[in-house]
Amino acid sequence: MDVSIQQSASHWGAVPAEFAIPLVESAFVLRHHEDGLRLREHSRRWMLEHRLVPVDVVGTQADGLRYTELVASYSVGAPFDALCAISDLSIWFFVWDDKHGRYAFHHQHGQWAALRDALYRVVDAPAAYSHDAEPLLSGLADCLLRFHALMSEHWNTSIAEHLRAVIHAYDIEYRERINNYVPPIDDYVKLRAGTFGYRVWLDCLELAAGRTLPADIRQWGEYRRAGLASQEFAGWYNDLCSIRKELAAGELHNLGITMIKHRGLSVGDAIDEVRERVITRVEDFLLAERAALERVDRANLPSEIADAVRHCVFNMRNWISSVYWFHHASERYNVNAWADRSHPPYVVDA
């Protein structure tokens, strides 16, 4: 299962003290898929094929933003075709998030509604959009068609449902942003599960393991708690490292920004509060991980199912180390101010 390269954390950059989590640095190994370099070359070709970035900046997008390294560090052991499909969906997600942000900033209601509705149609019938002129449609369609070839009908039905939930969550966020509405903390936490795509990425653990888990195992409390803790860590740590960037961009949907709005915290105090929540999720994961693996050991499962569950839990762990170091290596998170608030310097128009 652990066919991986262990990387030095220095490869990913230094961690500012306000974002440092010693428990992650001491208890989690930073791993990297053995085919990480091949993945980077694949992703460059894929971004160009679907016109997601211009030719002259594809190297910057592939290297400086570290998108493929992120995926290669939380999809350890995945077959190469599955690794590429997960990585391409992740790249698509970043591009779609940036497009959504620009539409909301400029109140481009018609363009947003058209994209939202078209994406629902892509999820329902990807083959019809595999060569669409809109890069976000053809890119998502391509990912879904490759998923169909790799995984069971049940798994594909599940991820389609979860992608629809992501689109719906982004639509809620769009409407809130154009109305300058900052949701209460608990409402934001629920919305974040959709906009980050927690359930989509948990589905992709099974894709990396090469097997659809039985429904009853997906529902194990221990497995669900471990998965949720790893994903909430990822979503909230992203918020932690993005607070200043998103304040500069005029964005409202960030766990720290909700605390600034609804609890009157300063930026520094909000950073401290979010960091404490993130640490708690790491602690929760370690407890749930142990419980999930102990249940596998005593469940008398067929060996191929037991191995798949262990592989999924293993990559839940890798999500934490990968996301942690990614935020201090990617140029996406090393900017706090720029001239055009709607257009961060890492966004390029294809």
Catalytic residues: 93-94, 196, 332
Q: Which helix (H) or strand (E) holds 4?
A: strand 4-6
Look at the block and give the residue holding tokens 């890492």: 346
How far apart are alpha carbons 339 and 335 in whole angstroms? 12
How far apart are alpha carbons 270 and 254 in whole angstroms? 10
DSSP lists the bridge partners of residue 32 as: 5
> Residue 265 phi/psi, 5° resolution?
-75, 155
How far apart are alpha carbons 3 and 78 in whole angstroms? 9
- The angle that helices 267-298 and 303-326 make with each other, rounded to 10 degrees, is 170
Tallying the residues shown for the chain, one arrives at 350
How far apart are alpha carbons 156 and 279 in whole angstroms? 33
Are 216 and 302 a contacting pair, CB within 8 Å? no
How far apart are alpha carbons 30 and 28 in whole angstroms? 6
Neighbour count for residue 298 (Cβ, 10 Å): 7
How far apart are alpha carbons 35 and 290 in whole angstroms? 29
